[in-house]
Amino acid sequence: MLTLLETLKAENHLSELNYQFAKMIAHKQQAYNYNEQQQNLAILLAALLSYHVMQGHTALRLDSNSAQSFFGLEHKKLGRDFQSEILQKIGGISPFEWQDILHEHIAFSHSPMQIAPMLFQHGLLYFYRYWQAEHNIARYLQQAVEFPEEFENTDLDKQILFELFPEKTTEIDWQKIAVATALRQRFCVISGGPGTGKTTTVAKLLVALQARQYRQQKSALNIALVAPTGKAAARLKESISNSFEKMQLTFEIPTYASTIHRLLGVRPNSDTPTYHVKNPLHLDLLVVDEASMIDLSLMEKLMNALKPSTRLIILGDKDQLASVEAGAIMGELGEFVQLGYSSVHCEYLYKVTGYSLSEQSNVLPICDTLCHLQKSHRFSEHSGIGQLAALVNQQKENESWRIFTKSQTDLVCIKYPSTTQFAEKRQWVQHCVNLVVEKAVEHYQVYLKLVQQRVSNPNKISANEIFEAFQKVRFLSALRVSELGSERLNQNIAEALKKARLLNFAFSRDSYAGKPILITQNSPQNNIYSGDIGIILPDEHNQLRVYFDTKVENTHLSLSLSRLPEHEVAYVMTVHKSQGSEFEHTFFIMPLNSAPVITKELIYTAVTRAKQTFTLFSEEKVWKIGVRANVQRQSGLQEQLKNMFS
């Protein structure tokens, strides 16, 4: 089995890490008297589980599909039947028998009380650490949902809600429902697509909770606002500050937002942050934005650091891409939304909002903590972007492609030509690359001309003017590595901008005026975090520095080149790394061929980065395959919650 896995590694079907973990298990089991089938199965499952976790799953589900899909081989055109060879090595046994065969194996546990590298639980195979994290999250949610309010004051809640939502509408105001839900619950998830008013809702929620404290003659709540990245935190702060300005508050509510890592005191090379279960944060209320970006491990750290009495409000879009690392907490919790509310919660909502919602029987208690905002205030019913996002989300591949042919002013599709128009494949590939590069040169010249003026006279053009121009447009790629992946396109675009005399450098990897960068490593000592965007510009002394989109007291944060943490060039970003950002004009670059990572969640996320115009580079077949595919991350969180609440 190990030789077979080594061949798969050599052909890039599994990673070095997947192989090395399997090799370690193979070495450890030699001291025991396992038969050949047990040894081969243990080696296979070690590699397979490692592979699945790298794909974002927190566990491997042991069902009939498990034996039909080893390492994604079924999606690849291969000259060798690896699938059959693997099955032959383990004797063709069904996944339903795997646990029994490895019942006595040293590397596998069958009870959480017995610690081993891997754990079988409820038809799933976990790394023990991932099961523990998932269990801790489920336990936190159970306790948070069942934590009783001191008392329910419906009259006061109704009065506060009336002041915040004075207009009585026949159509259900889901923002009002969300605020009412959060007033009643210590844990609340508010989901919504772009423009549905998540941060506006939270601003009103903060006012409602603080107002209730004052009217009950209690001390003000100690509040913190966080997001997964520096960019998302800055947007949260800006959005809530703008909402408060419109509301003309008579009392103070904090608007400062930080990253989750900074709040927790996550330290390099340490798995234990400053704040944890034995040293919790001294907070009454924590608001977490862009929750879809938060992986299992970070969510566990966050929940471990909260006192039982701390309110937790989670914001996000349940339909967006899940985190890069393993886990899809927001998406999994979001699935409970469709189950509706209990009769008790519906009765409370009717008393305080006047809206009558249909009650559901036998719903889990966690359902009463969720609210999905359904009305977009950014996109009208005639908006092409809004319609496209909805069609993609509903996996309507034909309608979503056809909408580009309609007279939508905010949607543009640049189709890749057929390969038959070219004598050689490389000519076709180069033509498609040129389509993207030409548009990038056309649109990036606006900010680069401002950069050139600053180079001539550093005091003439401010960093703020340059950022405003740069942030209006962004090119997003579906893949990192391919002919149309972000890595290669960044090189091609830089060279094309140099050829157009908009940039000046010897080598594209050099530091030069106008180069945009994306931070990929947290640097808390410099107030710089992964996901932050910077542009290299001359300072007032004509020395190159990196200026960041992050502002401190209305001034762009800057750093000398020598102090820069790990980063990459950012003319083109992957869709994953664009989460938490929005741009007036978003260009989305699909690959020339379909790939397993191209799913409706990825496409939906790309579409919803656009505020005014969305331009697509794609071929019809690849688009439709992507819209049809959806992410189904394997996990046991929902099962654990159902068991705990039953």
- Domain limit, last residue, from 342, 359, 378: 378
Q: What is the mean pLDDT of residues 53-68?
A: 87
Q: Does 603 fall in a domain?
A: yes
Higher pLDDT, 502 or 596: 502
Strands laid side by side in the 533-538 sheet: 555-560, 544-552, 533-538, 516-519, 567-569
Task: Check whether 118 has a pLDDT greater than 60.
Answer: yes
353-358 — which CB contacts under 8 Å span 24+ positions?
353/158, 353/161, 353/165, 353/173, 353/176, 353/177, 353/180, 354/168, 355/172, 355/173, 355/176, 355/177, 357/172, 357/177
Number of domains present in the structure of the chain:
3
In a domain, 515, yes or no: yes
Of 9, 29, 46, 66, give the one whose Cα is nearest residue 126: 46
Per residue in 191-222, pLDDT tens? 998 888 898 899 999 999 999 999 998 999 99
- Binding-site annotation, residues for ATP: 192-199
CA dist., res. 148 & res. 546, Å (int) = 50
pLDDT score at 110: 92
Q: Same domain, yes or no, for 268 and 319?
A: yes
Contact 323, 281 (CB under 8 A): no
558 within some domain: yes
What does the alpha-carbon distance between residue 503 and residue 445 come to, in Å, rounded to a whole number? Answer: 10
Region 309-321: mean pLDDT is: 91
Q: Residue 466 above 70 pLDDT?
A: yes
Asked if residue 329 and residue 280 are part of one domain, the reply reads yes
Which of 316, 348, 378 is a domain's end point? Answer: 378
What is the C-alpha R_g of the chain?
26
Res. 81 pLDDT band, cuts 50 70 90 = confident
Name, in order, each residue with C-beta under 8 angstroms of 79's C-beta and a sequence gap of 6 or more. none
How high is the pLDDT of residue 243?
Answer: 86
Residue 453 lies in a domain: yes
Same domain membership, residue 469 and residue 332: no
**How far is the CA of 153 from the CAs of 42, 147, 156, 214, 308, in angstroms?**
57, 16, 6, 14, 21
Could you give the CA distance from residue 212 to residue 207 in angstroms, rounded to a whole number? 8
**Arithmetic mean of pLDDT over the chain:** 90
Same domain, 330 and 396: no
- Structural domain for 478, as ranges: 384-628
Label residue 131 by pLDDT band (50, 70, 90). Answer: very high
User: Sorting pLDDT into bands at 50, 70 and 90, what band is 524?
Assistant: confident
Q: Which of 66-80, 225-239, 256-270 has the lowest mean pLDDT?
A: 66-80
Single-letter amino acid code for the residue at 2: L
Last residue of a domain, one of 106, 134, 162: 134
Mean pLDDT across 74-89: 79
What single string gives the DSSP state of each residue in 182-193? HHH-SEEEEEE-
pLDDT of residue 148 exceeding 60? no
Mean pLDDT of 425-430: 91
SS3 376: coil
pLDDT at 406: 81
- Same domain, yes or no: 179 and 207: yes
Report the greatest alpha carbon distance in the chain.
Answer: 79
Q: Is residue 172 part of a domain?
A: yes
Q: What's the mean pLDDT in 483-508?
A: 93
- Mean predicted confidence (pLDDT) in 58-80: 80
Q: Please say if the pLDDT value at position 414 is more than 70.
A: yes
Lowest mean pLDDT among 228-242, 333-347, 471-485: 228-242
The confidence score (pLDDT) of residue 402 equals 93
Task: Examine the pLDDT at 312 and tell me if it is beyond 90.
Answer: yes
**Residue 411 pLDDT class (50, 70, 90 cuts):** very high
| Claim to verify: residue 124 and residue 192 sit in the same structural domain | no
Under 8 Å between Cβ of 15 and 9: yes
Give the model confidence (pLDDT) of 364-383 as tens digits.
999 999 999 988 777 777 78
Which residues are annotated binding-site positions?
A: 192-199
Integer Cα distance of 571 and 490 in angstroms: 6
Is pLDDT above 70 for 389? yes
Do 542 and 404 sit in the same domain of this protein? Answer: yes
pLDDT, average across residues 163-168: 88
The pLDDT assigned to 150 comes to 58
Please check whether residues 394 and 526 belong to one and the same domain.
yes
CATH code of residue 91: 1.10.10.1020
Mean pLDDT, rounded, for 121-147: 92
Q: Classify residue 106: in a domain, yes or no.
A: yes
Domain-located, residue 633: no
- Angle (CA) 111 117 119, round 5°: 30
Q: Is the pLDDT reported for residue 539 higher than 80?
A: yes
Q: Specify whether 83 is located in the same domain as 173.
A: no
Q: Are residues 402 and 338 in the same domain?
A: no
Both 598 and 451 in one domain: the answer is yes
Q: d(Cα 390, Cα 477) in Å, to the nearest integer?
A: 21
616: pLDDT confidence band, cut at 50, 70 and 90? very high
- pLDDT category of residue 308 using cuts at 50, 70 and 90: very high
Please say if the pLDDT value at position 153 is more than 90. Answer: no
pLDDT band at 586 (very low <50, low <70, confident <90, very high): very high
Give pLDDT, residue 151.
59
- Is 540 part of a structural domain of the chain? yes
Statement to judge: residues 302 and 422 lie in one domain: no
Q: What's the CATH number where 224 sits?
A: 3.40.50.300
